[in-house]
Amino acid sequence: MPMAAQQDHNELLDRLPRVRGKIRLHADLSKGNWFQVGGPAEILFRPEDEEDLAYFLENKPENLPYMVLGVGSNLIIRDGGIDGVVIRLGRGFVQCHALDSSRIKVGAACLSFNAATIAQQNGIAGLEFLTGIPGSIGGVLRMNGGAYGSEIKDVLVEAYALDPQGKRCVLKPQHLHYRYRHSDFPEGWIFTGALLQGTEGDPEVIAARIDEISKARESTQPIRAKTGGSTFKNPEGHKAWQLIDAAGCRGLSIGGAQISEKHCNFMINTGNAVASDLEKLGEEVIKRVFAHSGVMLEWEIKRVGK
């Protein structure tokens, strides 16, 4: 790293609040996302808990760029990395427990599958669909994640978040204006958890449904590959994978990136892809689908960084 750049990084470190969590300089992000690509974070911050994160937000330098990174399941981190601070929620945000026979309280960093499993263990039905959504609850809340006929808006009682000044806010579903794979959650705010509503059920019946969803995913999706989940949103009246298949893109590749042969709304890193391979491949698919069908696909995967 050039000496001037190192000095700039050190000056930024000196300006950050004195938090209890861990802060790292020039942190590799490529191993922390499902595609396993991307450049480094200028600063990586792992807050100890919600109070630590709130303190950071309240006392951060003015105009400091920051973003939250979950488990990186639906994300392409570009090869130039991410300027400013990347906030990664960890152990202080993974809690999940039942409040009663129909509700669970869950942290933003809790994996969706784990939330469904804990609900099942407590005899709470209606959350099994979370098994079919890769990633953590924070990402599901932000994009109104859904699978197998249900979306998070269908089970959300309230969500908990910190605003850019570190103030804790309680948000009802109507505040988020949920639509298909979209919410109006303000930029700069950070989800920290949620209260989810199910119904009383038989744990064995719920477990059978979770197993059914897991097997369906494994049989139809390349879940054991380096992938990022569904690449494009389903356009109204269409299935994205059908449009991609009809445009002849099944198996299409650029560099180390490939459209899955198993499910062509999934891109995979075959082993040596860089982020630009994946993004170029996605844009090529958009172009070919539009030329074939006149339908413009919209990215579902978020792309961040330089």
What are the pLDDT digits (tens) for 31-59? 889 999 999 999 999 999 999 999 999 99
Summarize the confidence of residues 267-283 as an average pLDDT.
96
**Strand, helix or coil for residue 217:** helix
- Strands (DSSP E) along the chain, which ranges? 22-27, 41-46, 66-69, 75-77, 82-88, 96-98, 103-107, 124-125, 146-147, 150-151, 156-162, 168-171, 190-197, 199-200, 226-230, 253-254, 257-259, 266-269, 302-304
Residue-level pLDDT at 2: 52
Residue that wins the pLDDT comparison between 14 and 201: 201
Task: Mark whether 181 is an active-site residue.
Answer: yes
Sign of CA dihedral 300, 140, 89, 174: positive
Percent of the residues in the chain that have a pLDDT greater than 90, as a whole number: 84
The mean pLDDT value of the chain amounts to: 93
Residue-level pLDDT at 72: 86
Domains of the chain: 3-91 (3.30.43.10), 93-205 (3.30.465.10), 224-304 (3.90.78.10)
Per-residue pLDDT of 127-149, as tens digits, reads 999 999 988 999 999 999 999 88
Please check the confidence at residue 3 and state whether its pLDDT lies above 50: no
**Strand, helix or coil for residue 32:** helix
How far, in Å, CA of 47 to CA of 54, rounded? 9
Catalytic hit among 102, 112, 230, 260: 230
Per-residue pLDDT of 89-100, as tens digits, reads 999 999 999 999
Summarize the confidence of residues 92-110 as an average pLDDT.
97
Residue-level pLDDT at 11: 76
List the strands of the sheet with 96-98, edge to edge: 96-98, 103-107, 190-197, 156-162, 168-171
Sign of CA dihedral 17, 85, 171, 106: negative
183 falls in which pLDDT band (50, 70, 90)?
very high
Per-residue pLDDT of 55-65, as tens digits, reads 999 999 988 99
Please check the confidence at residue 188 and state whether its pLDDT lies above 80: yes
Residue-level pLDDT at 8: 60
Task: Mark whether 236 is an active-site residue.
Answer: no
How far, in Å, CA of 230 to CA of 248, rounded? 18
Summarize the confidence of residues 166-172 as an average pLDDT.
97
Catalytic hit among 50, 151, 279, 300: 300
Indicate the Cα dihedral angle 200, 206, 207, 209, nearest 10°: -170
Please check the confidence at residue 238 and state whether its pLDDT lies above 60: yes
Summarize the confidence of residues 254-283 as an average pLDDT.
96
Please check the confidence at residue 4 and state whether its pLDDT lies above 50: no
Whole-model pTM? 0.89
Catalytic hit among 51, 103, 150, 181: 181
Residue holding tokens 């009682």? 157
Task: Mark whether 112 is an active-site residue.
Answer: no
